[in-house]
Structure 1
């Protein structure tokens, strides 16, 4: 019988070998690693495509940001960017107690929010024994105005705005005279605080608050940049450089020993 017509099932050589199978005592080959470029911007990339921030040197200045809407006793919707006063107040207490912190920089870009929460933050800033400087970027509206003027020196960016308007209530309002009397008393608290910690006269501040014809569907005034300085609401116009320079100046002045010796 001729074997040439039989199907070739077995390999004619020994040991039998099949593709993609290892021989005995043969080690698997590891692929060569792909060389990664060094010294390129991609070397700083971390997870989620974020760039690692530069290392911050030790500083005696602490920075607090007041952004979005100032949240009070009611929790705002999750899509709102908020500043919670129960988070800010403990930070202010820690700043006052920390001997390594010599000054506080407050950055504001807020639309306002809860009146009592905003006043609580402003009163805490005023009562600090360490120098404070505030900087308004974007906007310092509504109850953000008392927070801005609560610092020892306030700055506003040339394109930043401040909205001054009467306070209002949300939710159920009882239509009795006591409701409006309560609103008037709360408004007096805001007016008194702002005028005591800025250069604006009380009559001028009330005139800006109740001005008509400037805001659509509302009463009040919008001040842009230098306009807030001209009316005496903000001390100076500037940015981060001027704010830090002023804060360092206040720190040096606060650390200077008082003239004269102890009084017996």
Structure 2
């Protein structure tokens, strides 16, 4: 039989140094990679999604750019739609715009969610951020926030043939059709703002401040975070009542 005292005095192996992998915190990693935390411990029924910086599309932008990757947002929207505990989605925007097709894909995903959605524009909702801002059931903009409306532009190698300009024109019509279909702005007013000259340096278009965005019918109201959450909660309650009424019938 082995002496218990001898066991106690045996030297312990040295502790293994912590590696980078063992130091990783899932919450910190989620913030660094996706810009948002996990679902709060109080089981919130609202899913908050942030769209900040530049909307990154099919090309990877330089590492110093603050970007929102659409391949991160789309799975999150699918998960929010499938999660029965999530009853509403809040989208907060402070974006300079970015890839047109990626922005339209995000906007279409938000517009086709079956759950109540509210967008809140803080700082800026520029360029392709405009369709995302109007894609929800209800849109709110901060009083000091701005939205830049301008035509679609191409960068890089452009083939100077008529087909290129026809393609641009069709893509422009897709953006205009989406914005007018999900807001109260008329097509004539939107095109007037989009092709206005003399306001933007080295570009054509218009910068619309909060109150003007509401006046033109792009956004529903001026407000902040409390207004956005309050409106979303009201729409969640309306949805609960309508579902309960359908079950009774």
Shared fold by TM > 0.5? yes
Secondary structure of residue in 2 paired with 1:76: coil
Matches within 5 A, 1:95-106: 95-106=80-91
| Residue 78 of structure 1, CA deviation | 0.4
Structure-1 residue corresponding to 2:62: 77
> What are the superposed Cα offsets for residues 113-162 of structure 1, whole Å, 9 maximum, x if unpaired?
00000000000001100000000000000000000000000000000000
Gaps (5+ residues) in structure 1?
Answer: 1-52
Structure-2 residue corresponding to 1:258: 245
Say if 2:177 is the partner of 1:177. no
Aligned partner of 1:112 among 90, 97, 103: 97
Return structure 1 stretches of 4+ with deviation > 6 angstroms.
Answer: none
Structure-2 residue corresponding to 1:138: 123
Q: Give the total of aligned pairs.
A: 209
Say if 2:197 is the partner of 1:212. yes
Structure-2 residue corresponding to 1:122: 107
For residues 112 and 156 of structure 1, the distance between their equivalents in structure 2, rounded to whole angstroms, comes to 16
Secondary structure of residue in 2 paired with 1:105: strand
TM-score by length of 2: 0.82
| Residue 260 of structure 1, CA deviation | 9.4
Write 1 or 2 for the structure with the bigger share of helix.
Answer: 2
Structure-2 residue corresponding to 1:94: 79
For residues 147 and 214 of structure 2, the distance between their equivalents in structure 1, rounded to whole angstroms, comes to 11
For residues 94 and 190 of structure 1, the distance between their equivalents in structure 2, rounded to whole angstroms, comes to 26
For residues 242 and 125 of structure 1, the distance between their equivalents in structure 2, rounded to whole angstroms, comes to 19
TM-score by length of 1: 0.77
Gaps (5+ residues) in structure 2?
Answer: 1-36
> Based on CA coordinates, which of the two structures has the bigger radius of gyration?
1
Aligned partner of 1:201 among 183, 186, 190: 186
Change (3 A) 1:84 1:259: closer
| Residue 259 of structure 1, CA deviation | 6.5
